[in-house]
Amino acid sequence: MTTADAKAYGAVPQEAVGLDVQDHVDVADYQTIGEPYVENAKMSARNVNVYYGEKQAIMDVSLDIGENEVLSMIGPSGCGKSTFLRSLNRMNDIIPICRVHGDIQLDGEDIYGSGQDTVLLRARVGMVFQKPNPFPKSIYENVAYGPRIHGLAHSKAEMDEIVETSLRRASLWEEVKDVLDQPGTGLSGGQQQRLCIARAIAVSPEVILMDEPCSALDPIATARIEELIDELKERFTIAIVTHSMQQAARVSQRTAYFHLGKLIEVGDTKQIFTMPRHELTENYITGRFG
Amino acid sequence: MQTSTVFLTLLALCVVSFFVGRHKSRLIGMAGGGLQSLHSLPTHYGYMAALWAGLPALLLFVVWLAVEGSVVRSLVIASLPAEVRAQGVDQLGLYYNQLVGHAVGNIEPASLDATQLAASAVYNEVMNYSRNLKMLLVCLVAIIGGMLAVMRVKPDLRARNHVESIFTWILFSCSFIAVLTTLGIVLSVLFEAIRFFQAISITDFLFGLQWSPQMAIRADQVGASGSFGFVPLLVGTLLISAVAMLIAVPVGLMSAIYLSEYASRRFRSITKPVLEILAGVPTVVYGFFAALTVAPFIRNLGESVGLSVASESALAAGLVMGIMIIPFVMSLSDDIISAVPDTMREASLGMGATMSETIRKVLLPAALPGIVGGILLAVSRAIGETMIVVMAAGLSAKLTINPLEAVTTITVQIVTLLVGDQEFDSPKTLAAFALGLVLFFVTLLLNVIALYVVRKYREQYE
């Protein structure tokens, strides 16, 4: 990609930076700046292309997520970061017109391979969504949902323990231990999101994908979730999509910058935010657009 | 002078008032330095004039129509000789109806006596007078109303707000009509039912196990002891409704799940309207389908496995009724399941749940209140359904819960009690009203429960 191209993209108003624009992008000659590969990769994507019908949303992205690291993905709206995240646990399968090409591996195993079971995959690669979405069930049942489906507990006592451990890890236990039978929908927004995190970690996933988990929360609740992410990385590998650059800078070790379906730059979070090497990255993080 | 003439005249007066009011407001506005000097648009002044002309006159017109009959009657009867007036109420009524019949030209003069002929002339005269007076008064009120409104047109008259509040009242009275109608139906049924309960004790009706509403018309008639135990009808109704719901709920609910969760958009766009056509088939068509196709089929099937099946069975009626209700249950459930937010689906699928686990453990519980409400509405429909049961389930009021036998329902008995010529002072006929009252309460109760369930749990997942 040339500088002239980049200027042209920069001039596109944000509302128009969507899937439509990408039809005119020449994929052939772009190259990700920085080091997309790591040594201890938990998940690795190679030459991933994602299409919604005729439109290409992700173009030839190759990226590793290292074991026990937090990788943040940033970029303007419509840049494909959520699409990429959702292809990591095949949530895109729900959308009938969506096709994923390329190779995505979890522990060296192709997750789009013919023998792969999406049910097991999603148990290993959990997801936390943008809007807190607890089930209209009790707090206990929300957390117990996954373990029940996957048969992880063989007795009431085991289930109780899974629920307590998960809620503790999501640092929600102290707040809800006396009201476990109350509906999860009755909690505050931040508590609901931590409940969703507890629900996701109750099935002991290896990777947790977070799709803008704090965008519906106030700054205090956001701070708690960020602290939580910091603790969770001891046990889990985390990929987080965020619109907040401060958040990416605070929680992640590596940062990937997406632009119009392309992975423009990836690298150490500190380097990305202090010395971006690509002009688009620099424009974005300095707030010139996006 | 026809009613429609009065009506059209009134309409014309309203239109005239509209234009006069609008014109005058324009003139005033222009004189006061442009239309901006008026509080409202000229059309608002026009509407106001039209409403002032139309509404009071319309009200007068309606009241006149309502009391005209009885006033004319009392005037004509007052003109009759004293010995005629001394007759009993019923005879006098017949006498009066005959002379009115002659006055409007339905009865030949030969069958009437001289006093009646004279009185019918009086009737014609009074009616004629009444019509003219009605026309005159209605026009007068309309013109006065319109003029009053036009005279009030001033720059600071808030015609817009005025019209607005008049429309609020018009809307209110329309909704009030529905309430009044319901009340009227309930009261008319209630009063007739009370007459029934004066002849038959209410406990015999509610707890009696025998239903054979044949009453002796003459004292010496044999074999006609009326018994009005309502239990067999209730059991029959519930039996058929239960069979219907056993068909409609699973099929309707599962097709709703398929349509909302699995079907492609194309399949759904074709299937849903087709299934909804089922709801548009008149019940009488379902009725002969049940009587001529399903009932014999069930009887033959039963005989081939050694069961004795009545040729008119609760099973046949219930099956077809169930088919009739399928689209009802399906459409309601489909809307409710589709209304469960996608975030619920994503949350569950993202945990590694399969689609069917997601449906069973997340979508159905979240949609349950709505589904229960829909099912209760469907039950109300099943209980109120008449035509299919008349044709397919028979008339014999047997107290049984065997769906292979012929039973009858509350609605069917109402129909059979009221078709043909009936005497309206016999408990046999009045029983229909008592049944209607019970039916009304049963469906009302179900609707109340349905509304309660829906309201209580409605916002749970938001």
Of A127, A149, A196, the CB nearest to B353: A149
A32 assigned to some structural domain: no
Mean pLDDT value across residues A274-280:
88
Q: Does A189 touch chain B (CB under 8 A)?
A: no
Residue A62 is predicted with a pLDDT of 92
Q: Does A149 touch chain B (CB under 8 A)?
A: yes
Q: What secondary structure letter does DSSP report for A215? A: T
Q: Does A196 touch chain B (CB under 8 A)?
A: yes
CATH of the domain at A230: 3.40.50.300
Q: Does A275 touch chain B (CB under 8 A)?
A: no
Q: Could you tell me how many residues make up chain A?
A: 290
Q: CATH 1.10.3720.10: which residues of chain B?
A: 227-457
* pLDDT single digits (tens) A210-263: 999 998 888 888 998 999 999 899 999 999 999 888 899 999 999 999 988 889
Question: Which range of residues forms the domain containing residue A191?
Answer: 37-285
Residue A18 is predicted with a pLDDT of 41
Greater pLDDT, B458 or A53: A53
Mean pLDDT value across residues B377-384:
88
CA angle B30–B36–B41, rounded 5-degree value: 90
Closest residue of chain B to A141, computed from CA coordinates: B361
Residue B224 is predicted with a pLDDT of 56
Q: Does B366 touch chain A (CB under 8 A)?
A: yes
A91 assigned to some structural domain: yes
| Mean pLDDT rounded to a whole number for chain A | 85
* pLDDT single digits (tens) B215-256: 655 666 655 567 888 888 889 999 999 999 999 999 999 999
How close, in Å, is residue B252 to chain A by CA atoms?
Answer: 24
| Mean pLDDT rounded to a whole number for chain B | 86
* pLDDT exceeds cutoff 80 at A11: no
Helices (H), B258-313: 265-280, 283-289, 295-304
Kindly list the residues from chain B whose CB atom is less than 8 angstroms away from the CB atom of residue A94. 345-346, 349
In 3D, which of B147, B126, B141 has the Cα closest to residue B16? B147
* pLDDT exceeds cutoff 90 at B85: no
Greater pLDDT, A8 or A69: A69
In 3D, which of B256, B268, B260, B252 has the Cα closest to residue B338? B260
Mean pLDDT value across residues B78-85:
81
d(C-alpha B123, C-alpha B100), whole Å = 7
Please identify which residue in the block is written with the tokens 């996954």: A146
Residue A266 is predicted with a pLDDT of 92
**Cα dihedral A265→A268→A272→A277 (10° resolution):** -50
Paired with A72 in beta bridges are: A240, A255
- Given an 8 Å threshold on Cβ–Cβ distance, is B346 in contact with A120? no
Mutation target among B351, B355, B459 for the A interface, most CBs of A within 10 A: B351
Sequence-ordered list of residues with C-beta below 8 angstroms from that of B341, at least 6 positions apart, any chain: A133, B461, B462
ipTM of the complex: 0.81
A26 assigned to some structural domain: no
Mean pLDDT value across residues B277-295:
87
* pLDDT exceeds cutoff 60 at B1: no
Q: Does B358 touch chain A (CB under 8 A)?
A: no
Mean pLDDT value across residues A168-184:
91
Please identify which residue in the block is written with the tokens 């196990």: B209
Closest residue of chain A to B368, computed from CA coordinates: A136
Mean pLDDT highest for which of A8-22, A131-145, B83-97, B151-165? A131-145
Please give the tally of structural domains in chain A.
1
Q: Which amino acid is at A243?
A: H
* pLDDT exceeds cutoff 50 at B458: yes
Helices (H), B40-158: 42-79, 82-85, 89-103, 114-152
Mean pLDDT value across residues B328-354:
90
d(C-alpha A172, C-alpha A162), whole Å = 14
Q: Which two tokens stand for residue B160?
A: 């817009």
CA B327, chain centre distance (Å) = 22
Q: Which two tokens stand for residue A62?
A: 């190759």
In 3D, which of B275, B260, B242 has the Cα closest to residue B407? B242
Kindly list the residues from chain A whose CB atom is less than 8 angstroms away from the CB atom of residue B366. 135-136
Q: Which amino acid is at A286?
A: T
pLDDT band at B423 (very low <50, low <70, confident <90, very high): confident
Q: Which two tokens stand for residue B207?
A: 């707890």
Q: Which two tokens stand for residue B164?
A: 């607005």
**Cα dihedral A241→A244→A247→A253 (10° resolution):** 50
Torsion sign (Cα): B228, B234, B235, B241: positive
Cβ B412 vs Cβ B395: under 8 Å: yes
Residue B216 is predicted with a pLDDT of 59
Residue A33 is predicted with a pLDDT of 86
Q: Which percentage of chain B shows pLDDT scores above 70?
A: 96
Residue B225 is predicted with a pLDDT of 62
d(C-alpha A17, C-alpha A80), whole Å = 11
* pLDDT exceeds cutoff 50 at B145: yes
CA A90, chain centre distance (Å) = 12
* pLDDT exceeds cutoff 90 at B429: no
In 3D, which of B61, B64, B83 has the Cα closest to residue B14? B61
* pLDDT exceeds cutoff 50 at A5: no
How close, in Å, is residue B362 to chain A by CA atoms?
Answer: 7
Among 1.10.10.60, 1.10.3720.10, 1.20.1050.10, 1.10.1740.10, what is the CATH number of B227-457? 1.10.3720.10
- Given an 8 Å threshold on Cβ–Cβ distance, is B264 in contact with A145? no
Of B343, B352, B365, the CB nearest to A203: B352
Q: Which two tokens stand for residue A115?
A: 């023998």
Element holding A45 (H helix, E strand): strand A41-52
